[in-house]
Amino acid sequence: MSEVATRDYADPAFRAQLVSGVDRTPGAGKPDPILVVDSVVRHFGGMTAVDVDHLEVQRGIITALIGPNGAGKTTFFNLVTGFDRPSQGAHWSFDGKTLDKTSASAVAQAGMVRTFQLTKALNRMTVMDNMMLGATEQSGENLLKSIFKPLWHGQEREIEERAKDLLDRFKLLPKKDDYAGSLSGGQRKLLEMARALMTSPKMIMLDEPMAGVNPALTQSLLGHIQSLRDEGTTVLFVEHDMHMVRHISDWVVVMAEGRVIAEGPADSVMSDQGVIDAYLGAHHDMDLGDDSLLEDDAVKDMAAEVAQEDAEGNA
Amino acid sequence: MSVTEDLTTGSEKDEAQRESRNKLLYAGGGLVAFLVALAVLSHLPGTVGQISASMLRVAIQPQTAALVIAVIGLNIHFGYTGLLNMGQAGFMMLGAYGFSIAIWKGQPMVVGVLAGFAAAFVFALLLGIPTLKLRGDYLAIVTISAAEILRYTGRLAKLEDFTGAAQGIPGSQYRGPFSNLSFLGDGQWTFPGTKLTYYLTGTDDWWTRLVAWGLVALCSYLVFLLARSPWGRLLRGIREDEDAIRSLGKNVFAVKMQALVIGGLFGALGGIIFILPASMQPDAMGRNLTFFAWTALLLGGAATVFGPVLGSILFFSVRIFLQGVTNAVVPNSVMNTQQTEQFAWICIGVMLMLIVIFRPQGLVGDKRELRFNV
Amino acid sequence: MDFRAVVRTRPGQRILATFFLTMITVAAVLSLPPPGAHAADLCLPSKTNSCISSTVRSDTGVIAGAEVHVTGPNGFDETLTTDEAGKFSLSVTDTGDYTLELVPDSLDKSLTITNGKVTLSVKQLNRVAAPVFGVRTADYSSSTSFTDQLVNGTFSGLRLGLLLALASIGLSLIYGTTGLSNFAHAEQVTLGGMLGYLFVNQWGLGMWVGVPLVLIAAGFSGWLQDFVLWQPLRRRGLGLAQMMIVTIGLSLTLQYVFQFFIGASTVKVLVFNPTPRSLGPISYTSPDLIAMGVSVVVIALVGYALLRTRIGRATRAVSDNPALASASGIDVDRVIRLVWVVATTLAGLSGLLYSLVIQRGMRWDSGMQILLLLFAAVTLGGLGTAFGALIGSLVIGMVVELTPVLGAPGDLKYASALLILILLLLVRPQGLLGRADRVG
């Protein structure tokens, strides 16, 4: 994008300008996509959980991936991050690199790091150890070098400093020597996010960052996500809560029944009749922003996912 | 040894360090006190003296040291990485076969040791490749199966010229080069204040004991170095949640493979020491030896440096204790001598169940870290 | 599917009734006197004597009228003649070494004796020893063609496969419903053989009483285990790895309990000395057929129960997803309790039949060998799928019995089964019938 003079992603006007020229149709091309996905399909038994024809994610902004339960958002996440395999040949590239058949770890190494819907904090390790594991290219993780402390001690100190900074930012520093299992659910979400940031990702993918977080923490979590964006990290997140989506996202992608059905800025998407139908068709009398509902839904979501796996007889 | 349940205090790191240091001191001191007590009691007349004397003999025998080293390997597998290796006896057997066959066939001792290590290395790769990407049970089933395949193969009558078949290889065929290294000289020696009398250099001698326990110290130190390194942290992370580690861009498969290989090499070394004072018999390294290693590991405490040492010594001496006491107390008409031995094994089996259920962290493990769940 | 109804109809009763019927059937079939058995000649071991019984046979059939000269301790000297079934049976009262020699003149001139002298030592009374002589016809090589061996091996493989299937279905059901790899399951098989020996041979209860007792005792051991051990551990939320190690402890304990009682000896359930028969190249005995028949019937019953009955569907629902099953009103604990009872009963039956028909009989550590075959079978079929376990067992049985035919040394026949398992994991880790596990 040569016509853009400064790339200040913290500036709302800049971001608005960035997406202003984009078509509001599913699969629309972006001015500077960091992630491009083509024909990602996943079947579970006879069901098609994900069938995304084409999707581009714009660099430097917050993109929300929304949709009713069972829309395939988490499965889509799993596919793109290498935690699940597409049923047939798919193509996606990240930051110019092709990642069609790579493993989950290679995807993370390329700079696309995710968190999980059910938080995967390492409960029986300390908060600090959790953080330290996030750092990449540690020479001490090489088996042969590991027994000689001088070979990794210096780097270890640097990583520790960086970890402390991040923990401080996420207000977890006083807990650094506690076992992660002793943290509250929301704190574990924060820890997982901070740990992901230890890898210095180009793009962070958050799978329902707000699920199970108490309302007091929600606001600070939102703030953290926004400040990540302001520092130049691309954010893609899955969320149920429309209020939150409206609040922080620059671009919204809507999935239903495995497909992308709409794209656009939050306001325009939420007034889209197709989107409303997709949601209301699924939950006619429900308030989409209700937290207790969310938890209930998450359980149902899991049950549905398990049922899908069970139905998968061959694969 | 108070384990604080309160995990929210601030300066816990120092406290935890002090606590673990204290724990180590207590456990080490306890072990020394246990051995000294046995040495003192062994001078008593009658059954008490006899039982104590044989407990002490068993506690320091080379086979115990051999088991310690195998358990150290298993500790890397299970304690740190969470790998369910049910074939540690197979790694031991490969080390032992490599060592004994090479020397029997006229190779120098170095070649023998390397052959044992190489065999264990290849074995680990072969087992790891199909299973390390699958759920933990698969590794358990495949390792236990593969270890048994090895034993069947070693026993094959057709391989008699190579493995000695079911009779195995007599110690005299391979012990020579090892005994020749001894600088202890000839003659018998009694450990002062005890009834432990062995040849300085011979079949079942002080030299083997010295080397075996020296290697235990060395291996323990090595594991200490590995466990405190970032590599060790990575292992513990994998034990906790593989997917989380994968999502951070680490090659989990490669690290698990490294752990499997390293633990297997310790197993091979244990196997070599296991056969030094005796002979190479495939049936001595069957499935049950693996289970004994597990019992020793869980008794001492998984994911600790000192646990394997403590667990193995206690495992052997507790068994002797049970057998001796049963022999002395229960009349022969109720249980004959053979049956008391089996009774002791039954108790060991029950003990394994009870430890796992009621004290999964073993004697010195960290309760918070070791409510293991793979 | 209305799972709630399952609980109301107390399906356990029906299953137990079915099992009781099965037990009676098994006992009935087993106690039928086989045609041509010579009860008068038969020696049964007791506390005051041991038996030396065997059949003299060549590669083509049994040899009647052969003379066997037996010498033993305290000047024991006796010559026996084989009956029309080629059998001889001898009761001895002293322990020690006995030498049996086939008298060459008593045989047809066309026969060659390859091994005419056998020395065996009777270490304890109340045992059976079966010496084997080697006798060949002149045209030996042509009579046991490769095809014949193959057919015969297939038959033995089918026999072993069916016995394994009985046990592995239970192992698979336990895995399916609880996620537990039960390392002590093979000890349940051994238990069946041991109890059969105890009830039928030691106590002389006969098949009618003995077999149902074995099955009840085996089933009760499963009920007791789940009551005392597994259910409380599940409630404590013990991890699966931990539970697996507990089963290893249990396996060790049971092995040494067996050894405590029977020492190093081999146990066979012996009701009559079966006559070897042949059908074309296949040689078999009537217990073989009975064991296979019983296995097929019982497996079919279990299969029917799983597919067609409510409790069977409930079991499969628990296998699929315990939380969901529980939410649908299924009493998961009850289903699991029943699974334990059924699994251990099946294992007991398998062990009983095993020690009835397998030549080697049952030792205190036979479970070790059986366990590996069971694991191979269950993994081959796909962990946790009962029908996969059946197919896996048949495959493993065949592989084990056919490997020697195809030229591998006999000792390796177990190894070959395990090798197949490892190779399969490389290609199709979820097993033949398993569903793909979402790895990662």
Name every chain A residue with its beta carbon within 8 A of the beta carbon of C438. 84, 309
Lowest model confidence (mean pLDDT) among B42-51, B52-61, B269-278, C2-11: C2-11
Q: What tokens appear for C67 in the block?
A: 């003379």
Q: What distance in Å separates the CA atoms of residue B277 and residue A312, rounded to the nearest whole number?
A: 56
Q: Among residues 138-167 of chain A, which lie with CB inside 8 Å of chain B?
A: 138, 140-143, 146-147, 149, 152, 156
The pLDDT score that the predictor gives to residue C200 is: 87
| CA distance linking residue C238 with residue C230, whole number of Å | 10
* C321 interfaces chain A, CB cutoff of 8 Å: yes
Q: Do B350 and C249 touch (CB under 8 A)?
A: yes
Least confident of B129-133, B313-317, C294-298: B129-133
Average pLDDT, chain A: 82
CB of A237 closer than 8 Å to CB of A206: yes
**pLDDT for A301:** 54
- C23 CA: distance to closest CA in chain B (Å): 31
What digits encode the pLDDT tens for the residues B110-123? 999 999 999 999 99
- CB proximity list for B105: less than 8 A, separation 6 or greater: none
From the candidates A50, A85, A296, which should be mutated to test the interface with C, based on the most C CB atoms within 10 A? A85
The pLDDT value given to residue A216:
77
C241 touches chain A (CB under 8 A): no
Instruction: Report, as an integer, the average pLDDT of A251-260.
Output: 89
Find, in chain B, the residue whose alpha carbon is nearest to that of A128.
B13
Using CA atoms of C101, C106, C110, C112 in order, give the dihedral in degrees to the nearest 10. 10
What letter represents residue B220's amino acid?
Answer: S
Q: Which residues of A touch B8 (CB under 8 A)?
A: 175, 178, 182
A59 to each of A30, A194, C347, how far by Cα in Å?
A: 9, 20, 61
Mean pLDDT, residues A126-149: 92
Shortest CA distance from A313: residue in chain C = C435
**Does residue C214 contact residue C195 with C-beta atoms inside 8 Å?**
yes
Instruction: Quote the pLDDT of residue C218.
Output: 96
pLDDT digits 0-9 by tens, A46-66: 778 888 889 999 998 999 998
SS3 B106: coil
Mean pLDDT along residues A157-179: 92
How does the average pLDDT of chain C come out, rounded? 80
In contact, A209 and A196? CB cutoff 8 Å? no
**Do the Cβ atoms of A306 and C438 come within 8 Å?**
no
More confident residue, A7 or B109: B109
B147 CA to centre of own chain: 16
pLDDT band at B6 (very low <50, low <70, confident <90, very high): very low
Q: Which of residues 122-181 of C touch B (CB under 8 A)?
A: 181
pLDDT value at residue C417: 80
pLDDT of residue B4: 40
pTM of the model: 0.83
Who has greater pLDDT, A101 or B371?
A101
Q: Is B222 exposed, middle or buried (0-12, 13-18, 19+ CB in 10 A)?
A: middle
Confidence of residue B373 (pLDDT cuts 50, 70, 90): very low
Beta carbon pairs, A and C, within 8 Å: 24
Per-residue confidence band for A309, with pLDDT thresholds at 50, 70 and 90: low
Beta bridge partners of C79: C69
pLDDT in the model for residue C102: 84
Residue C281 has pLDDT above 80, yes or no: no
C22-31, C98-107, C186-195: least confidently modelled range: C22-31
Six token digits for residue A77: 């996440």
Asked whether the beta carbons of residue C256 and residue B136 sit closer than 8 angstroms, the reply is: no
Task: Provide the pLDDT for residue B68.
Answer: 97
Q: How many CB atoms within 10 Å of residue B307?
A: 28
Instruction: Work out the mean pLDDT of chain B and round it to a whole number.
Output: 89
Indicate which of A80, A138, A146, A202 best probes the interface with B, i.e. most B CBs within 10 Å of its own CB.
Answer: A146
pLDDT (0 to 100) of residue B91: 97
Angstrom distance (rounded) from CA A276 to CA A290: 17
What pLDDT score does B370 carry?
56
Is the model's pLDDT at B99 over the cut of 70?
A: yes
The 8-class DSSP code of residue C75 comes to G
| Mean pLDDT on A240-268 | 85
Band the pLDDT of C13: cuts 50, 70, 90: low
Whole-Å CA distances, B22 to B16, B18, B26, B27: 10, 6, 6, 8
What is the identity of the amino acid at B51? I
Q: What is the mean pLDDT of residues B280-302?
A: 92
What is the per-residue pLDDT for C179? Answer: 87
- In this prediction, residue A247 has a pLDDT band, given cuts at 50, 70 and 90, of confident
State the sign of the Cα–Cα–Cα–Cα dihedral C318, C322, C326, C332: positive
The band of B7, judged by pLDDT with boundaries at 50, 70 and 90, is: very low
Q: Which residues contact C153 (CB under 8 A, 6 or more apart)?
A: C398, C401, C402, C404, C405
Question: Which tokens belong to A135?
Answer: 């750092």
Give the pLDDT score at C25: 62
Q: What is the pLDDT of residue C439?
A: 32
% of chain B surpassing 70 pLDDT: 94
CA dihedral A115, A121, A122, A123 (to 10 degrees): -160
Which alpha helices (DSSP H) does B11-87 contain, by range? 12-41, 46-60, 62-74
Residue percentage of chain C with pLDDT more than 70: 84
Cβ-in-10-Å burial (0-12, 13-18, 19+) of A255 comes to: buried
pLDDT for position C21: 62
pLDDT confidence bin for C35, thresholds 50/70/90: very low
- Quick one: average pLDDT of B129-148? 86
- Residue A183's Cβ-count burial label (10 Å; 0-12, 13-18, 19+) is buried
Chain B partners within 8 Å of C240 (Cβ): 373-374
Q: Which residue of C has its CA nearest to A300?
A: C324
Which of residues 227 through 246 in chain B touch C, CB cutoff 8 A?
Answer: 242-243, 246
The predicted structure's pLDDT at residue C36: 41
At residue B69, does pLDDT exceed 90?
A: yes
> Which residue bears the tokens 């002080």?
B206
Residue C3 is predicted with a pLDDT of 39
A309, C440: Cβ pair inside 8 Å? Answer: no
- Mean predicted confidence (pLDDT) in C286-301: 90
Cβ pair B368:A152 closer than 8 A: no
Among B250, B255, B284, smallest CA distance to B168 is for B284
Calculate mean pLDDT across residues B333-339: 85
Q: Do C435 and A310 touch (CB under 8 A)?
A: yes
Mutate to test the interface with A, among B14, B242, B248, B372 (most CBs of A within 10 A): B248
Is residue B214's pLDDT more than 70?
yes
User: pLDDT tens across C330-340, in order?
Assistant: 889 999 999 99
Which of C318, C77, C69 lies closest to C180 in space, CA to CA? C318
Is any Cβ of chain C less than 8 angstroms from the Cβ of B247? no
Concatenated DSSP letters of C235-260: HHT--HHHHHHHHHHHHHHHHHHHHH
Q: Are strands A91-94 and A251-256 parallel, antiparallel or unpaired?
A: unpaired
Cβ(C259)–Cβ(B342) below 8 Å: yes
pLDDT at A167 over 50: yes
> Does residue B73 have a pLDDT over 90?
yes
What does the pLDDT look like over C324-374, one tens digit per residue?
888 888 889 999 999 999 999 999 999 999 988 877 788 888 888 888 899
> How many contacts does B have with C, using Cβ atoms within 8 A?
139
Between CA A211 and CA A223, with CA A217 as vertex, the angle to 5 degrees is 100
Total residues belonging to chain B: 374
Q: How confident is the model at residue A5 (pLDDT cuts 50, 70, 90)?
A: very low
Show residues of chain A in contact with B220, CB under 8 Å. none
Do B157 and C436 contact (CB within 8 A), yes or no? no
Question: Mutating which of C234, C247, C248 best tests the B interface, going by the most B Cβ atoms within 10 A?
Answer: C248
C246: chain B residues, CB-CB within 8 Å = 352-353, 356-357
Residue B173 DSSP class: G
Q: Which residue has the tokens 């991890």?
A: C239
Q: Looking at chain A, how many residues does it have?
A: 315
Q: Could you write out the DSSP letters of every residue in C26-57?
A: HHHHHHSPPTT--TTT----BTTBEEEEEE-B
Half-sphere exposure of C301 (CA within 13 A, CB side): 20
Task: Give the pLDDT score at C201.
Answer: 84
In this prediction, residue B60 carries a pLDDT of: 94
Q: At what angle do helices C386-402 and C366-381 cross, to 10 degrees?
A: 120
Q: Residues of C numbered 126-155 whose beta carbons fall under 8 angstroms of chain A's beta carbons: which are they?
A: none
Distance CA B120, CA B125 (A): 9
pLDDT band at A292 (very low <50, low <70, confident <90, very high): very low
A29 has pLDDT over 70: yes
The three-class DSSP label of residue B148 is: helix
Q: In the complex, which subunits touch A with 3 or more CB pairs below 8 angstroms?
A: B, C
